[in-house]
Structure 1
Amino acid sequence: MATNSLPLELNALKRRLEQVQKGQRYAHGGSVENAAITVNDATGSVRTIVGLQGDGTVGVQAVNGPPPPQPSAPIVASVLGGVSVGWDGLFAGGAVIPMDWQRIEVHASIVAVYDPIPATLQSTIETAQGATVVIPCDTPVYVRLVARSASGTASPASVTVGPFGPTPVVADDILDGIVTTLKLADEAVTAAKVAVGAIGADQLGLGIGNLAPDPSFEGPLTAAKIVGRPEFTLVTPGNNSATALHIDCNTGFTTWLNIEVARYDVLPGERHFLAFDYKTSGTFNGGAKLLFRYEDAAGAVTGYGVVDGPTIGGAYERATGQVQAPPNTVAAFLLVEASSVSVGTVWFDNIEVRTLIAGGMVAAGTITATEIAALTINAGNIAADAIVAAKIAANAVTTGKLDALAVTAAKIAANAITVGKIDAGAVDATALSATAITGKTITGGLITGTEIQTAASGERVTINEAGANKVLVYNSSGVAIGELSDLGLLLKGTNGALLYLDPDSTYPNLRFTNDDQSNEAVINVVETTAGAADLGMNSGQFSGNGFTDLKWRTFLGSDFWVAERLRDSANSTVIGGRIHLQATTAQIGFLDTTNVDPDTLLNILSGLAQLSGGRLQITAPASSSSALFIDGATGHTGNLARASINGTDKFKVDKDGNTTASGAVMAANIRASRTSVPAPGTGGGTSTATVTFSVAMSNTPRVTLTPDTTIDPATVTIRAYVDNVTTAGFTIRCYRSTNSLTNINWIAISDPA
């Protein structure tokens, strides 16, 4: 077949025409459906992709662009805390900025020769006009610039400029109070910089640094400890540090939120210095604490060493304190804690732990004679008047320390010389004045094996009378009214009543008797659980309910309070009114454990009061107010009133006032019921029934009758009439076309009296 036939030529021309028309559509606003248009350069390399990109996004993307020209040299200068780097918007050799220029990268390194890499990238300049950025640094750096095109191609790096470091800080550059402990380098403070009197006992260091493992909460240690604890977060910035520990305490209930920071081996009596920065929200209602929990070898807690942050709200403050390990301690656990809190937030930072005595800081009063080497402190090191009487230990000044004849009569206090200070035989008759012993004061010495009394009879005080090892107090009648012995303290009133304090009893107590001491009231302390100190107050005994040993008792226990009427010999026998208060409930009612009748108790919980085992009767006085008032808050959806028997509702009023009753609803002016009218007889007819009200009505009512039947009226005729209506009742007349009884529903309503 010939390939140049006319039909084939026409078909080829048609296809070429369609391609031309398609190109015209793109030129005049055509669309590209789910595809992209590529722009190639003279070499055929793709330079731009317009439309759908390889990652599924749509846009204009430059690719394969040539590198931009080399930027001009950076302009570098030292500033506080780092260096400033500027670019003047020019390129090396006067090159023109390319149209696809994107940005200038600023690179810095502490070495002079380096290639710009991601690790050296410090900042970028995004404007072609040039700009200046600041690079924070502590040591001198070398700076280079790199230009980037829209396709991401890098230029040759600029020349290197440097080294430049931060500007030294002079006094005029520092705000008052801005330099904190954390900003001082080791050994930065020399003797010439310490003011006279600035260092006291609490500031003396012995060479050991901060023992806290992550004091500013910037490391992985703290981050690992708060995993799974959503109330703990690390926030920035801290107090002159990068990070602070934040605790959200808005739990709605009182709690203690803490994390264990570290564990230390310690010895009993070892001291530590604790410090921390903290701040709280104004609503914070707990305590911000840094503390040691001390434990023995078995892991039992031996005590706590706590430093509190007392200020609520405001800026960061620093709390410091000293703690000491109790006896038997082998370990101390460092805790950061928001204690006894339910509302607010707290931030912690810059915690500090240092040893005292064992190395770190010297606590006030901890340098005693045993810590001072012999002859270390000589007279030249003691200021004038530095040693006063209060600083000299008892018996410290001996005879060898006194100059000859240094002690004169003027230096001896009255009564200062006692028998023990006088040599045997030193005081003879010539040294005693007449009547010096009789009726005079004897100071010092030891009196053994005798009885001491202030008088031979009547009102007096005796010691060890009749060898009874007691102190007795007698009134003017010679009656003993007070006693102090190993059994306690006893006082007797003029009417015969006793007050007796007995701390050695199983339950330490204070007793109060009546005049003839036949009955007594008691206050005692009971340790119901280890460490508890429960308080009981008991009345004297009385008779009632067939018992002779009833009493009233008020008992304040471990987080509860009870007032009740019970037997003294059997405390489980309770008869009478009772009040019982606990942390979550309050109960008041009547309790009788001697019979099976139900007790009547009013239990009060948060948002609910329940009365069980009894009836509620309200006897209201004459008033314009409601005898029973129920007021539901806006949004209440439950019933306003509900009555039931064995769980079956009998009466209820819902939130909208709709009332439901399972029985008859009675009113003084309403009567309603159903009455059966007898069958009229064969062939039907009229029969009657008399209705008598159970309670007569005040006025003659209006009566409505309705036959209660499902019979088709087309087959049976039933008509009901009312007759003889009085306040006492009425007559029903019923016509029925068949011989059957008829139930009639009726309602009688009278005008109110």
Structure 2
Amino acid sequence: MPNPLDELAARIAALEVALPELSRASRLSHSSIDDGALTVTAAGRLRAIIGQQPDGTTAITAVNGPVPPVPTAPTATPTLGGVRVTWDGTFAVGAPSPLDLARVEVHASTTSGFVPSPATLVTTIDTPQGGIVTVPTSVPVWVTLAARTTSGKASGPSAAVTSGPAPVVAQQVLAGIVGELQLAASAVTAAKIAAAAIDGRAIADAAVTATKIGQAAVTAGKIAQDAVTTGTVAVDAITAREIAAGSITAAELAAGSVTTAALTAGAVTAGQLAAGAVTTEKLAAGAVAAGKLAADSVTAGTIAAGTVTGREIKAQAITADKIAVNSITATQLAAGAVTATALSAGAIDGMEITGTTVQTARTGARVKISPAPALFGNRPTVLMYAGLGNETEPGGLILNTLGSLVIKPPKFGSGTPSSLTIGSASDQNDISLRTPRMSVLLSELFDGVSINVASVDGSRSQSYDFGDRELSVGEWQDLVFADGVRNFGWRPVQYRRMPDGTCVLRGLAIIPGGFPNGGLIGTIADAACRPSVIEVFRADNESTARANIFVNPDGRIQIKNATGALGGWISFGHTRWFTD
């Protein structure tokens, strides 16, 4: 009988041999999941369901995935009917595209800073490579993107961009693309139709009915030649009231249809005759008598060349008011025609021409002498035209009512040109320059010259009287530093006297750290450059503390009123004072 212990030992040995083979083989190579599912967890949280889903379908579903990264901002450009949105497939701060990305949502709103929600979702981009979509809109909108994963997690919104729809203009609509099917009923109103836009090609046959034609809309100029036939005119529709004055011309009348028998006495008046209808062939000999001609009806254009001779002109009929301006030139005057008796008394007096305007040309660049043009106050003026396209007013030399000579350049566009006024009846030596914003008056004094500069509105003015002194500029002088102050950079601290009597201080200096409030920066050695009273200026300095520069009558320059510790550079670039 076999020993049970030996059998147990043999079986254990066999299992030890088979165990390594079992550990290397696939344990589910021929396995299946029947009516169930496998779950994948991480850190105790469900991450995926493989197999039968809760709704009865079979799939691999990711759940509780991580929040995806934020997409980069899209670009938005106008397009017809909306805004074209483009995303390049990248994510903020260079984050990689998540493997569980489902789509990128496109949200739009007319409100800046809106929060994406189901109500703002317009469309999606369903590929991680990016894409282009259109947001339909008729007004400008703000657009932002949000990434969504297969487990439903959404990223934060991207940076928002804004744009609006492109306007629909004629250049963007192909010829013939808008047909009857594209137009809504009653869409075309009078306000939508450009002038002269509707011609014969655009109107369908029989489309124009009585109800579509506005009152008095069809005039003679709108009807094509031979368009009105017997079939289109209602019986008795055309009466004397419907025939516009001048509408029946020679082209509409059959040859010889208007005879003496067909015309009632007095029927042919000016209102019934079309322009140019009465030609030489239509007039009977002697038919045109003085009583048949309306006043001013016979003009140069209606008289055939050579028709009017001395026999047809009544004595004294041609007077000055019948002659158009500039119509009689040298070619129209016979030799010796202009005699002394033909000129009014005083018209030409020696070398002077009175009572008229003399100009070098009719248009373009020219000079025009006018005795009293309204443009310049009805004063004697020499007008000068530049002849440029944007010239709106000529320049001129004007003698005004004060006896001054005013020089004004031409005016271009809507701007106001400057002017120069020389002398006057009261003071022949004054010169005044005026611009749109300021005026400068130069006057002679008994001992020198006075210059007054003022704003046109009178809010600011300054006078400078120079007397007999020379208008010279002093030399730059170095400031005498104190208490460790020294020059800084390329511009040393210097001062000098100016021609207007002021003194200027310039340059950069270094003041040592811990410089005392009220400390002495330096001294102005030249007494002629010292102020008559204490002058105070703001100190521009490297420190965050605010302070003031005091320039004293004894020449000392101090820094005071400091709000904190002083030290570092200090600038004197805006320091200027009067010395008297």
TM score, norm. by length of structure 2: 0.32
Q: Which has the higher helix share?
A: 2
Q: Which has the higher strand share?
A: 1
